Amino acid sequence: MAENSADDITIVILLIGEASGVFAGFCPSWFTVSSPFFHDQDAKAGNVKRIRWGEIAATAIVTATGWAVTQRTGKKLPLMAAVAICGVFVGGYEYMIANPSKDDEKEPGEGSWLVRSKKGD
């Protein structure tokens, strides 16, 4: 496999930035989606449905951008990066929907901030 040029790396960085903006345009932040405000409201089901619509729209736009750059450059890296970036964003949204922040037991500074634990575990 040929080495990636500086231009290839730059394109991937730009795709990451573009994906961030596109997902932010269609969906609220991960912080908002995991907050008690989001989970304790009567409109949660409708909001989740709209977030999923946003995930689909943003994934389509970011993937199409990756495809277009792949077509222009003749390299697969931009499309693969776009798909991976979308996976990270969609995975993050789905995790935040399924795991509200109020389910976290530990206060900041107690244990690892990366590990979520529910009461009773």
pTM of the model: 0.79
Q: What pLDDT is stored for residue 5 in this prediction? A: 83
Task: Spell out, as residue ranges, where the chain has pLDDT lower than 50.
Answer: 1, 121
Pairs from 57-62 (Cβ < 8 Å, separation ≥ 24): 57/26, 58/19, 58/22, 58/23, 58/25, 58/26, 58/27, 58/86, 58/89, 59/86, 59/89, 59/90, 61/22, 62/15, 62/18, 62/19, 62/22, 62/23, 62/86
- What was the pLDDT predicted at 1? 42
Query: Residue 92: what pLDDT?
Result: 95
